[in-house]
Structure 1
Amino acid sequence: MSLLSSFSKKPKLTAAHKHTAQARKSEGGAADALYSAAYSGYADVLLDDPMRAEALYSWGFALLHQAKSKSTDEAVKIYQDAISKFTFCMLINPDYLGSAINMGVAYMDMARLLAVTPDNELYDHAQKHFENANRIQKGTASYNLACICALRGDQDGCLKALQYAQERGSLPDDQDILDDADLDNVKTQQWFIDYVATLEKKPEPVAEAAAPAEEASETPAEPTEETETAKE
């Protein structure tokens, strides 16, 4: 954050502090309104700080992976900590794709860990964040949504989400789909068998004529940026 930006946000921070102080002396709806105004002010102060957003995302990402190696109680606490980091990241940058996706992943991981039923609110939270990820970048979390639909017995929703993920180029490899336990409820359905069969029919590569030696470029291709993976 630049020095100029810090000066411009100082009055907003001061106003938010005043709202909090007033809220503590108020009651009921008046207090809630003042707290809401304070929260809005604090969020506005945090908004648009790329380095802080990246640090929070990376912190949450590290916690997400640490949780996978812990026992249930400890893992849940770490997942919740990761979610809080992703949440703060998105206060700074509401369109931070990695945080949107990985908040959904964290909620799904907790749901599996605690062996809750598919109608549990943990899956509701996961779905909400995957839908937000799709808002930020179309199709990035459609496969995850397909998994939630499968767990909940929504076969039409599952197929539509799989097809959309395929259209947007975010579908995992065929074998990863077949190995995914989240899809166990639909794997024996004929529509799923037919769908996977279409994935296995990959088009033949089109042979290209070799370029003359003197026209061949000696410049190596630019490396592509690593993309976010929605499904762990």
Structure 2
Amino acid sequence: MSFLSSLKKRSTLDAAIKQVAQARNSEAGKAEQLYKGAYQGFASVISDNLMMSDALYHWGFALLHEANGKPEVEAIEIYEDAISKFSFCLLMAPNYLGAAIDGGVAFMELGRISPEGSKAGLYGLAEDFFEKANNIQKGSAAYNLACIYALRNDEPACQQALQQAREFGSLPNLDNIQGDPDMDKVKQAEWFKEFIADVQAQPEPVREKLNNAEVVVDKSSFKLKKTEDFDYYS
């Protein structure tokens, strides 16, 4: 960070702190505006630090996977820690796709081991993260959303999300879909069986590596598809 950039961030931070002080002594409407202005200032100060964002994401990613196989009480704490890292990462880098997807995954995993009365709320928070991921890159979390809709037994939404996942290349392989317990409530639906059959009937595209991209070739067209560092479905 350059000296001038550092001074600018310091000035922005001081202004945000001043807004908080003013908000504490203001009427409700005025205070809300001041708080929002302060939050924007704080976010501006910590934004654009790619190395810190990467560190937070990978820290959260490690916690997410460490929680697997832990006793439930310990796992809950680890998942919550992972979520805090992904959330902070997104605060610093709002378009960090991995943090948006894995934050949702962490909430899903937390929901699975939480009391029944907490599951719906946690799945709702997961949905918020997945929607954010879809806003960053369309279709990137479509399958994750399909899982949430299936858990709610919302078949039309699930069907639409699966189609979107297929369209945008984020659909897992059929073994994973058919073995996914999140899909249990819709697996016997005719539309689901037809979807699986249709995917099975479609030949796999030929994939050839080209540096950091995959060339996806079919009979009529080809496109470049960015490869991901991690497999979110394993």
Q: What TM-score, normalized by structure 1, do the two folds share? A: 0.84
Give 1:2 deviation, angstroms: 3.5
Cα separation, 1, equivalents of 2:37 and 2:212 = 45
1:111-130 alignment, distance < 5 Å: 111-116=111-116, 120-130=120-130
Distance 2:27 2:177 in 1: 53
Question: Aligned-pair distance for 1:70?
Answer: 2.2
Higher strand share: 2
CA distance in 2 between counterparts of 1:163 and 1:173 reads 14
- Once residues 114 and 35 of structure 2 are traced to their aligned partners in structure 1, the CA distance between those partners, rounded to angstroms, is 33
- The answer (yes or no) to whether the contact 2:95–2:136 under 8 Å persists in 1 is yes
Distance in 1 between the 2:168 and 2:118 partners? Answer: 26
Task: Report what 1:6 is aligned to.
Answer: 6
Matched with 2:146 is 146
Partner of 2:156: 156
Q: Distance in 1 between matches of 2:134 and 2:32?
A: 32
Counterparts in 2 of 1:75 and 1:118: CA distance versus 1, 3 Å: closer
Deviation at 1:25, TM superposition (A): 5.1
Aligned-residue identity in percent: 50
| TM alignment of 1:68-147, pairs within 5 A | 68-116=68-116, 120-147=120-147
Cα deviation digits, residues 42-85 of structure 1 (max 9, x gap): 11111111111111111111111122232222222221221111
Matched residues in 1 for 2:210 and 2:87: separation? 37
Instruction: Give the match for residue 228 of structure 2.
Output: 226
TM-score (norm 2): 0.84
- The answer on whether the counterparts of 1:143 and 1:170 sit within 8 Å (CA) in structure 2 is yes
Aligned to 1:210: none
Equivalent position SS for 1:120: helix
- Would the aligned equivalents of 1:141 and 1:230 in 2 still touch at CA under 8 Å? no
Instruction: Give the Cα separation in 2 of the matches to 1:28 and 1:204.
Output: 59
Relative contact order: is structure 1 or structure 2 higher (C-alpha 8 Å, sep ≥ 6)? 1
Pair 1:175–1:117, CA change in 2 (3 A): farther
Contact 1:118 1:152 in 2 (8 A): no
Say what the alpha-carbon RMSD is for the aligned residues.
Answer: 2.4
- Cα distance, 1:223 vs. partner? 4.7
The amino acid that maps onto 2:190 is Q
* 2:50 corresponds to: 50
Kept in 2: contact 1:63–1:78 (CA 8 A): yes
Alpha carbons of structure 1 residues 54 and 12: separation in structure 2 relative to 1, 3 Å: same
Give 1:133's aligned amino acid. Answer: A
Q: CA deviation at 1:153?
A: 0.9
The alpha carbon displacement at 1:180 in A equals 0.2
Any unmatched runs of 5+ in structure 2? 214-226
Structure 1 segments of 4 or more deviating over 6 A? none
Change in CA separation of 1:135 and 1:145 when aligned onto 2, cut-off 3 Å: same
Q: Are the aligned partners of 1:97 and 1:137 in contact in 2 as well (CA < 8 Å)?
A: yes
Answer yes or no: is the 8 Å Cα contact 2:13–2:45 preserved in 1.
yes
Q: Partners in 1 of 2:33 and 2:3 — Cα distance?
A: 31
